[in-house]
Structure 1
Amino acid sequence: MAHNESFVSRRPRYAAGPVRRLQLLGPWLSRAPWVLVTAFLGLSIAATVAIAIWPDRVPWGIYGFIVVLSGLFLEPRLLLVVYIGLFLAMAILGAYLGELKPTTTGAQIVTVATMMLMLWLSHARAQVGVVGVSGESMLVDMRDRLRAQGELPPLPASWGAEVALESAYGDGFAGDFVVASRSTDGVTLEVALVDVSGKGREAGTRSLLLSGALGGLLGEMSEGGFLQSANNHLLRLRWNEGFATAVHVAVNLETGDFTIGYAGHPAAAQFAAGSGRWRMLSGGRGPLLGVIEQADYPRESGTIRRGDALVLYSDGVIEARDKALVDGIDRMLGRAESFIRTGFEGLAQRLCDQAAAGLGDDRAVVTIWRS
């Protein structure tokens, strides 16, 4: 049977349900912000009265709760109004209670420091036009969309494929991504593994933007024109220090014939069932994406016979600071040699888990095999 899976980081799934429901408050809050300001000022008055009546039971920390809560849902100028009211209430109450409520000065310093932090966070949210927790929800949507674009299409019964993606230090975003497509007649499978400059969250937004564009090009361009079109797209974006490496393979699912091209990306590895050995394809041709205009990207041809497999990977799988690149390649092939004794299923994830870079870099592996 066909085996077609995509693996991502094995961290627990993010429980987005409550956050998405809170996100619905955003439009209402933007239409009636002074209602919320009044509510927070009312909470401040209630806290002040409570401390005045029960000074030995109600702590100064209740003001800190209001500071954080209002900082999540108010834009900076409205938040400043609430904070001024809070500080005045705390100062007047501290002077009124005197010795009945000690540590007033220390509590005021901590509260003001928290106010400054929340004003900074509120300003950062205002720059992207989000309110409350909607910003975090947007990031979750972006992350999930990036991963969904890397899911492989259904394959015939005699074929299998897997994708494994791991971000640096377990971040939710990675600079490596995969896009895949199967032709309308079902004959051709195309897969592109792309490594955007940077790693982790710093490359996450560029990965999302680029994956959408390359996903649209995949299957619409000729096999030989995909990398050229991708290069032209990056040049038009004019990113500062923005470039990418890529490997693109197109496989005929009826004959097993494939063509593969590289844009500054490490060469793929192929397992030959006849010899029982792994070998590196020649690869290495073609410049980085987004650097040179009218670049040429030659392609290599081959065949995946029954029992054969093809492995695409990013540089995080073979590169390590204290080792030569050839050592990383030998290490990967050695791992792959030992893993295939139990079949190709799960090979992509195992190679990611035992990458030369460890957790310090993004890692991606795509395996395609024919049974």
Structure 2
Amino acid sequence: MGTGRFEELRARVPSPAGWLRRGLPMSQKALTWGLVLLTVVASAAIVAPWDWAPVSVLILVQLLGAFLLRLRGMVVLCAVIVVETLAMAIGRNGSFSPGEMLVQGISVVALLAFAFQRERLGLQGAPGGLMLVDLRDRLAAHGRIPRLPHSWRVDSALRAANAEAFSGDFIVASTAKDETLLEIAVVDVSGKGQAAGVRSLLLSGAFGGLLGAMPPEEFLPAANDYLLAQDWDEGFATAIHLTVDLRTGEFWVASAGHPPAVQLHAGSGRLEIVNSIGAPALGIVRDLRCAPVTGRLAPGDALMLYTDGLIEAPGHDVSMGIDRLMGAAERLVATRRGGAEAVLDGVRTGEGDDRALVLVHRDPL
């Protein structure tokens, strides 16, 4: 290859310094060069005659880089560490053990893969983690119950599968008509874990905007239209929508492929299934039609909404799961010994599915 061709190729390939100047904001450049300087200090301590530091100290610098740097800065940092490690290994006449070299190589590859994955997701450095925390908090905020009259209480519990940060189940709530009408929707997005959590983040914001902004009977059809418009490969969700008149206790329950609500009658202590099943899940058919079931919450009554993670178990019928849930509610809610969290614990389902439960109480006179 001629000299002119070589110079042309070298001009096309940016140097690490040029890459940093063009591709990183000032704070990232400062962090990158600061960590590079730290590797130089660490390398000097490693090769010092008194063995001030072990070779593994460079892994700590890499971990700092994975937390603070974007992909470009992380590539530069890892390249410097690789060069320094090879130089130290040669300079010390092979006194580095093969295990030390192997650990360094594995850590470089693993942390670069981690940085690349965060870059794909748009989560770069420490602010990316803070963004995830903010998204999780926003999802929880959509399910926050608004202020209610003194005779009404709502207790809710939400647990993600395998204690993940995000859940495919979510709750949205709103009040309308001068805060005399309470609306709550419990939604179970298909799938579980992080994949379902991403979809639940989007849907919770959209459904939260729809709730209370239109007549109650139009909520589930509008939610269905929105979900169909997303055109997801796995784009269905079950939902149950409750509307309660806080003046009279009258309620309306409509469901789209969701397990039925359960009403506790305080007068008799009886638990009754509010059979609102009829419409298919959201995101499957167009022109969704839901027939609401009506009822009334007398003073002391409670209404329970939940997702299928509380009633489904491998090898067991769903009706048995509903019976088990009603038994836990009878032991805890009917006797006022516990609320939503206690019921979740009492059902003792596995940790492999998302679970959500809402209890709407009308206090006794």
TM range (shorter): 0.7 to 0.9
Partner of residue 364, structure 1: 356
Kept in 2, the 8 Å contact 1:317–1:351? The answer is: no
State the 1:280 CA deviation. Answer: 0.6
User: Which moves more between the two structures, 216-225 or 354-363?
Assistant: 354-363
Partner of residue 73, structure 1: 68
Partner of residue 21, structure 1: none
Partner of residue 240, structure 1: 233
Kept in 2, the 8 Å contact 1:247–1:262? The answer is: yes
Partner of residue 255, structure 1: 248
Structure 2 letter corresponding to 1:312: L
Whether 2:174 is the aligned partner of 1:181: answer yes
Kept in 2, the 8 Å contact 1:319–1:356? The answer is: no
Indicate which of 307, 320, 341 corresponds to 2:300.
Answer: 307
Whether 2:46 is the aligned partner of 1:51: answer yes
Kept in 1, the 8 Å contact 2:220–2:241? The answer is: yes
Structure with more relative contact order (C-alpha pairs < 8 Å, separation 6 or more): 1
Change (3 A) 1:59 1:273: closer
* Aligned-residue RMSD, C-alpha: 2.0
Partner of residue 14, structure 2: none
Partner of residue 135, structure 1: 128
**Mind listing any 5+ residue stretches in structure 2 that lack a counterpart?**
1-22
Partner of residue 211, structure 1: 204
Residue-by-residue CA offset, 1:334-369 (whole Å, 9 max, x unaligned): 2212223432x7332222123353322111111112
Q: Using the alignment, how far apart are the partners of 1:161 and 1:37 within structure 2?
A: 50
Q: Using the alignment, how far apart are the partners of 2:131 and 2:216 within structure 1?
A: 34
Whether 2:335 is the aligned partner of 1:317: answer no
Indicate which of 335, 344, 355 corresponds to 1:342.
Answer: 335
Residue-by-residue CA offset, 1:206-239 (whole Å, 9 max, x unaligned): 1111011111111111111110000000001111
Q: Using the alignment, how far apart are the partners of 1:340 and 1:80 within structure 2?
A: 56
Partner of residue 30, structure 2: 35
State the 1:81 CA deviation. Answer: 3.0
TM-score by length of 2: 0.87
Residue-by-residue CA offset, 1:176-210 (whole Å, 9 max, x unaligned): 11111111412111111111111222211111110
TM-score by length of 1: 0.86
Q: Using the alignment, how far apart are the partners of 1:81 and 1:367 within structure 2?
A: 54
Indicate which of 215, 220, 231 corresponds to 2:213.
Answer: 220
Structure 1 letter corresponding to 2:63: V
State the 1:323 CA deviation. Answer: 1.3
State the 1:95 CA deviation. Answer: 2.1
Indicate which of 93, 101, 123 corresponds to 2:88.
Answer: 93
Indicate which of 268, 278, 283 corresponds to 2:271.
Answer: 278
Change (3 A) 1:222 1:41: same
Q: Sequence identity, in percent?
A: 40
Q: Using the alignment, how far apart are the partners of 1:236 and 1:313 within structure 2?
A: 26
**Mind listing any 5+ residue stretches in structure 1 that lack a counterpart?**
1-27
Partner of residue 295, structure 1: 288
Kept in 1, the 8 Å contact 2:172–2:208? The answer is: yes
Residue-by-residue CA offset, 1:249-297 (whole Å, 9 max, x unaligned): 1111111111110000011111223332111112211111011011111
State the 1:32 CA deviation. Answer: 4.8
Q: Using the alignment, how far apart are the partners of 1:165 and 1:82 within structure 2?
A: 41
Indicate which of 151, 154, 157 corresponds to 2:150.
Answer: 157
Change (3 A) 1:92 1:157: closer
Change (3 A) 1:288 1:85: same
Partner of residue 19, structure 1: none
How many correspondences in the alignment?
341
Kept in 2, the 8 Å contact 1:316–1:356? The answer is: no
Structure 2 letter corresponding to 1:304: L
Structure 1 letter corresponding to 2:346: Q
Structure 2 letter corresponding to 1:59: P
